[in-house]
Amino acid sequence: MARTAGQRSTQRLTNSVRWLNHREEAAWRAFALAMAKLRDTLESQLERDADLSFIEYHSLARLSDEPDHTLRMSELAAVTNASLSRLSHLVSRMEARGLIRREPDPTDGRFTIAILTNAGYTKLLESAPGHVATVRALVIDEFSAAELQELRGFSERMLARIETFTRD
């Protein structure tokens, strides 16, 4: 359903906009900047030390979480927060590198199963220490246990709102 310029789902019908006050704006800018730089820094560390992007690393990691090192493509897409199309291209490349392979699901041919290869598992084991050390250095080690629980709580509250927002 097309939307004309004046009809924005997120805009009130009145023309009164609740702008951010100074404190809100400062908090938002700091948080937005931290998110961007955190992502960039984790990406560079993985790319430099392991020749993996963040999502490639997490594809290996999420597969390794499974007892049989296996997930359907659509499940892997869900847990890595990627579109199926993006994941399909990405797994094609990782398949060419021998890190993941694919097979049709024997129980239902509509599904494709992504399987962590031995080489892929080895790659994960090699790159995990450097990645975890970076996550510690940038985030975890900065905070007390209580603060980390707060950060988790904040994150979950935002996730709940994103869920609601995206549903509409």
* CA nearest neighbour of 97 among 59, 44, 41, 43: 59
Among 86, 117, 166, 167, binds a second copy (CB under 8 A): 166
The dihedral sign for the CA sequence 19, 20, 25, 29: negative
CB of residue 107 vs a second copy: minimum separation in angstroms?
Answer: 29
* CA nearest neighbour of 60 among 45, 70, 74: 70
116 sits in the region (left: phi over 0; alpha: psi -120 to 50; else beta) called: beta
Residues 69, 121: Cα–Cα separation, whole Å? 9
Q: Is residue 75 a contact partner of residue 66, using CB atoms and an 8 Å limit?
A: no
Region near a second copy per CB under 8 A, out of 12-20, 69-77, 92-100, 108-116: 12-20
Per DSSP, 143 falls in state S
Q: Binding of DNA at residue 46 (CB under 7 A)?
A: no
Q: Binding of a second copy at residue 134 (CB under 8 A)?
A: yes
C-beta of 104 vs 129, nearer to DNA = 104
18 sits in the region (left: phi over 0; alpha: psi -120 to 50; else beta) called: beta
Region near a second copy per CB under 8 A, out of 34-42, 68-76, 88-96, 98-106: 34-42
Q: Binding of DNA at residue 66 (CB under 7 A)?
A: no
Among 7, 9, 109, 168, binds DNA (CB under 7 A): 109
Q: Binding of DNA at residue 70 (CB under 7 A)?
A: no
Q: Binding of DNA at residue 97 (CB under 7 A)?
A: no
3-state SS, residue 116:
strand
Structure tokens at 10: 């997120």
Structure tokens at 49: 């030390």
Q: Which residues bind a second copy (CB under 8 A)?
A: 3, 5, 8-12, 17-20, 23-24, 26-28, 30-31, 33-41, 45, 48-49, 81, 126, 128-130, 132-140, 142-143, 145, 147-152, 154-159, 161-162, 165-166
Q: Which residues bind DNA (CB under 7 A)?
A: 44, 47, 53, 55, 72-75, 77, 82-93, 102, 104-105, 108-112
